[in-house]
Amino acid sequence: MKRKSDGLHKKGNMIVFPGTVERLLDQAEDALQSEEFEEAVRLAEQLLQIAPNLPEIPGVLAIALYETKEFEQAKHYATLWLQSDVNDYFEAMELYLAISMQLQDYTEVEDTIGALLDEGVVPNELKQKFLYLRELNGRLSNRFSDDYLVQPKEVISFDDFLKLTQFEQQQILADLERTGLRDAEYLLSEIVVYDHLPNVLRTVALVLLRQTGFDQPLVVRKFGRGITVYPAQLPLPGEDKVTQEVCQLLQESLDKDPTRLSLIEESVKKFAMISYPLGWGAPTESVVAAYENYSCYLFEGVSLPQTSLHKLIFEIDQDYSEAAE
């Protein structure tokens, strides 16, 4: 007698096809890597409906909700992540503490870090990170005290900054933007000119330095090219004349294909952010033609010309998630 296939399952009124869970999880993790955080939340919430006990879901949701500033929900899932994945415990704990600081749960952060250090469970290679988080939490918790304004604000040294993970480095820059940039010009200028940091991180530092009114020359090198800039005199990423002209001409060129236009506009924005302040190093017309060729490559499978400009556009667009790490 032929056994009835159990390849299809039902969850409520939904039919769950074989491989659906794996496919959705892959898509959610890809969205997370590509910094498409709202999409990662959407996919992870679908997974919750059909596989609520999947151990990977809390981590995906905790990170994505943190990035979309849904801190209350993010903390809930960070707690579940701590409970569900021993292998990623300290990564989950760092995120949990960062979320708690965003929610101004400073006492909880102090108690948690203190307990971890007192119990001796923090690996030696992570102790400095947790000590720094503890110190940062203390400074943030004191910012509303009566004598806070007369206390000098300490800024982490550039050498210590380089020892942090990228997540922690991003936190430092976010904290500087939120709590003030006083005395941070030296740190920011060192980040901007240091070739071995992620280009997106250097862009953020340069934008913050611009906000301070820093008007000393800096040499910025990216993708084998360099330029001397005065940060205070720079436009914001994407607001320069060439980028605006490129977007306008592409809108005219691709107006009849909204899907293609949307994707290419996103590619232009990525380039403007990562390459800032260097741009494409080519005339507007050449840049527009290169993106039209790139759209044909993506949508029609046409070979991409192997010029330096086409290669650079391809590299930044295809490796965006890696460049942003």
pLDDT for the residue 154: 64
pLDDT for the residue 183: 77
pLDDT for the residue 14: 47
pLDDT for the residue 268: 92
Domain count, the chain: 2
Instruction: Give which of 18, 33, 88, 80 is closest to 52, Cα–Cα.
Output: 80
* Residues 281, 258 share a domain: yes
pLDDT for the residue 206: 95
Single out the residue in 173, 199, 234 at which a domain terminates. 234
pLDDT for the residue 63: 93
Site of tokens 């380039």 = 271
The answer to whether position 148 is within a domain reads no
- What CATH number does residue 284 fall under? 1.10.472.40
Instruction: Give which of 115, 140, 143, 144 is closest to 130, Cα–Cα.
Output: 115
pTM for the structure as a whole: 0.54
Structure tokens at 51: 């596989």
If you count them, how many residues does the chain have? 325
The answer to whether position 318 is within a domain reads yes
* Residues 246, 226 share a domain: no
The answer to whether position 147 is within a domain reads no
Contact between residue 161 and residue 320 where contact means Cβ atoms under 8 Å apart: no
The answer to whether position 253 is within a domain reads yes
* Residues 228, 167 share a domain: yes
pLDDT by residue for the chain (325 residues), tens only, comes to 333 334 444 444 444 455 777 888 889 889 888 889 999 999 988 888 877 888 888 999 999 999 888 989 999 999 999 888 677 888 889 899 989 988 888 889 999 999 988 888 888 888 888 887 888 788 777 654 444 443 444 678 899 889 888 878 888 888 787 666 767 899 999 999 999 999 989 999 999 999 888 999 999 999 889 999 999 999 999 888 999 999 999 999 988 888 889 889 889 988 999 999 998 989 999 999 999 999 999 888 889 899 999 999 998 887 654 444 4
Single out the residue in 181, 212, 234 at which a domain terminates. 234
* Residues 280, 299 share a domain: yes
The answer to whether position 75 is within a domain reads no
Pairwise CA distance, residues 322 & 325, whole Å: 5
* Residues 200, 230 share a domain: yes
DSSP annotation of 10: E
Single out the residue in 194, 216, 234 at which a domain terminates. 234
pLDDT for the residue 21: 79
Residues spanned by the domain of 313: 241-323
